[in-house]
A and B are shown apart, each in its own frame.
Chain A
Amino acid sequence: MTQSKNFRLFVSLIAALAIISTVRLWTSQDALTSSDTIGTALRLTVPILLAGMAGLWAERCGVLNIGIEGMMIFGTWFGAWGAWQFGPWAGLLFAILGGVFGGLVHAVATVRFNIDQVISGVVINLFAFFGVRYLSELVYVGKQGGGISQSPPQKWALPRFNLPILSGGEIAGWKSPDFLGWLELQRWFILGDLGGISRGLTHNLSWATVIAVLVVPASAWVLWRTRFGLRLRSSGESPVAAESLGVKVNHLRYYGLLISGGLAGLAGGTLSIVASSYYRQGQTAGRGFIGLATMIFGNWRPSGILIGAMLFGYAEGIKLVASDSITALFLFIAAISGVFFVVAVIRRKRVQIAVALSAFLLSAIAYRTVDTVPESLTQALPYLVTLIVLATANQRLRPPAMAGVPFRPGEPH
């Protein structure tokens, strides 16, 4: 069972690679899979990924977290402050603590006082936005390079590294060959893309990125392979049953929200410490909500969140690195939906046929007619994709059963 599933995943990955490689050669838009694009995409993926994981931890323990955006704002501010004062590693720690503070407020409001979880989240977003503005006015105004909406730039950056042998990293002072870089330059079918993608993932890596990516398997392991994780998920699926078995639901919800806040804070920290070197107002730019979107997109599972975050990160990355390649993506989408259309016809799924066909036609027409996509419209892409996923795949999504429902221990149910 799992073997055939893995095999199918492998085949579809190769197929996707073959399609994008064909599109790249056809349109000669090498930026589609260049290591530059992929590297940028990875950097942009990280905050979204962490925000998505923050949403996962909160909803798995049974509490909706609309306040991720606000907790990320705390993360950007406190992270930048810590990095400015004590260096980048301390900055990341402060970012996490800032997020944890937001998570604590959310936990006290929703778990202790049982107020509506959406309301608490919205208020936390407002509170964070103006709270850090107040702090900026106190701390940053008058400092060199700082102001009400910006922190002074940090003096140190986090170390970056290249993977030895594969991407030209150094081993004890010896500069090893950049094998993947060489492969990328050959522009061969599939292999060239593979080289570009792998080099993008292993070249000029920040340690913070590595830590962020490790959060995914770590969360998956804790949530699905440990006793703590099982209990935490049971508080999200069926708190009454969990309580009857002696699980302290509200304690677990506190833990879940503190972890959620910490991850959101770290997401903010990567924005103000890794992706840039200062705090700026509006730096999160709705990424907390994109994170929520990836959580839904990923069906409340770590692997799904990873894929969703990578998709959104890639879309954002290609926009930054090579905005004229975006039209080539239409061709890619058209090809993919063409494949889906054939599969749907074989399986005789009517709705899927209709969706795939319209996606194919739309993207094909877009490829033929659109020369440049307005910047303003590409920004809406993640949100639009999420709405479409929600509207088309809602039946197949499975959120934690009791996420959003307040729970009072010991009350008759």
Chain B
Amino acid sequence: MNQQLTTQRNFDSMRKSLNTLGSSVSAIILALSICAVLLLVTGKDPFAAYSKILETGLTGEKLLEMLKRATPLIFSAIAVAIGFKMNLFNIGVEGQYLFAALVAAEMATHVSLPRPLHILFILVVAMVAGAAWASIAAFLKIARGVNEVISTIMLNYIALSFIQWLFESFFRDDSDGGLNVKTTKIAPSGRMPDLVHDRLNGMFIVALVVAFLYWIVVFRSRFGFRLRASGLNPIAARTAGIPANRMVLIALMLSGAVAGLIAMPAVIGDVYGYGPSAIATQFGFAGISVALLGRNHPIGIVGAALLFGFLDSTSAVLQLSGIPSSIVKVIQAIIVLVVVIVNEASSRRYNRRTAERAAADLKSQEVQS
């Protein structure tokens, strides 16, 4: 009997996973068809574009670039997903990671430590800085009931100004007199080694580790259970004795801490410092897309980040062959929109079917007895 129940449950969860995977894949195909229509309408050949993307993307060099471009997206998406798991919408990842990048880059130049410790120090500082910036939104939500969507949007802009001010007034280093001003260069002991020289940084491994830790903490620990419970049904969670305010604080700070790592592949793997034009922006928003596409699941997130990294890696080549490179970003946005819509529709259908099946089972049991 027990055996039967377990098989039944496994079967159910497999059906659900298949349902998820199927709807995601069909959504991506649908999104690609919409983009094909868009390309056709604007007078470009969609098949040429797509085959160009595949042709250039599936070379060794570009696949390495895909991994490189996926790295910050994995961090960003996990930061967003931690919030999502508790029904918190952290739009402030953008501000959190840029603030963390500046603070970590600056702090890194003020200590001298042996190699692994120096790197660890920088990563910890970045996480603390990201968590600190996120805690403002958490505080506003807990103490004053301010919705985190609005407060994190506002905090993004405040962060941008604040960072600019800090950088211009205190942290910029004009010693090399270059046009590309940055903070003082981080000493070699604080630089993350490359996996493949100049192509892929060791932060990629860190990203995979963070994805794994995310899975353990959020899906397999007591804390994660409380987190997800608070997200699924706040009232039930509170009744069960889960402290709502503390969960908000911890979730947002965890999210901010992971967000703090987003710029690290650049800060300690490429630029060795912070500079307004050297550190890429917009990863915070891209992370929202990746988290949505990956449905907040670690495997899904890594897969979605790889997909986005793959698309991004081909954009430069597309440009050369007469196809506007922005189409890649348009494809990404449409994929996310379609995936979200299809997921919503399919999960509603799945729930309805499950309910119908349960009702049918109940009926047949009644007949038997």
Contacts and interface: CB of A to CB of B under 8 A. Distances in A.
Interface residues on A, range: 35 or more
Interface in B314-369: 324-327, 329-330, 332-334, 336-337, 340-341, 344-345
Interface string A386-400: 110011101000000
B225 interface: no
A127 B154 contact: no
Given A127-B337, A374-B169, A383-B158, A119 B292 contact: yes
Contacts of B43: 138
A122 interface: yes
Interface of B, secondary structure class, is helix
Contact of A387 (B155, B332, B336): B155
Interface residues on B, range: 35 or more
A292 B334 CA distance: 25
A126 B289 contact: yes
Contacts of B337: 105, 109, 120, 123, 127
Contacts of B168: 374, 376
B157 A289 contact: yes
Nearest to A288: B153
B14 interface: no
A130 interface: yes
Contact of B154 (A66, A120, A130, A293): A293
B155 A137 contact: no
A351 B329 CA distance: 48
Contacts of B286: 126
Interface of A, secondary structure class, is helix
A109 B168 CA distance: 42
A133 B153 contact: no
B165 A289 contact: no
Contacts of B42: 134-135, 138
B326 A391 contact: no
A387 B341 CA distance: 32
Contact of A127 (B146, B149, B330): B330
A289 B154 contact: yes
B229 interface: no
B340 A115 contact: yes
B215 interface: no
B162 interface: yes
Contacts of B91: 66, 118, 122
Contact of A123 (B89, B153, B327, B336): B336
A379 interface: yes
A122 B345 contact: no
Contact of A113 (B144, B292, B329, B341): B341
A159 to B, nearest CB: 34
A105 B34 CA distance: 14
Given A109-B341, A115-B344, A380 B157 contact: yes
B333 A123 contact: yes
Contacts of A129: 329
Nearest to B323: A137
B344 A383 contact: no
Interface string A322-339: 000000000000000000
Nearest to A114: B344
Given A122-B91, A130-B333, A289 B326 contact: no
Q: In this complex, which of A114, A120, A130 has the most chain B Cβ atoms within 10 angstroms of its Cβ?
A: A130
A150 to B, nearest CB: 14
A126 B161 contact: no
Contacts of A137: 324-326
B109 interface: no
Contacts of B327: 134
Nearest to A113: B341
Contacts of B143: 391
Contacts of B58: none
Interface string B32-73: 000000000011000000000000000000000000000000
A391 B146 contact: yes
Contacts of A148: 326
A66 B154 CA distance: 12
Given A293-B154, A376-B162, A392-B144, 14 more contacts: A105-B337, A109-B340, A113-B344, A115-B344, A119-B340, A123-B340, A129-B329, A133-B329, A138-B324, A289-B153, A296-B150, A377-B165, A387-B155, A387-B158
Interface of B: 42-43, 89, 91, 140, 143-146, 149-151, 153-155, 157-158, 160-162, 164-165, 168-169, 285-286, 288-289, 292, 324-327, 329-330, 332-334, 336-337, 340-341, 344-345
30 contacts: A66-B149, A109-B337, A115-B341, A120-B340, A122-B91, A123-B340, A126-B289, A126-B329, A126-B336, A127-B330, A127-B333, A130-B332, A131-B330, A134-B329, A138-B42, A138-B324, A289-B154, A296-B150, A376-B161, A376-B168, A379-B157, A379-B161, A380-B160, A383-B155, A384-B158, A387-B151, A387-B155, A390-B140, A390-B146, A391-B146
Interface of A: 64, 66, 105, 109, 113-116, 118-120, 122-123, 125-127, 129-131, 133-135, 137-138, 148, 286, 289, 292-293, 296, 374, 376-377, 379-380, 383-384, 386-387, 390-392, 394
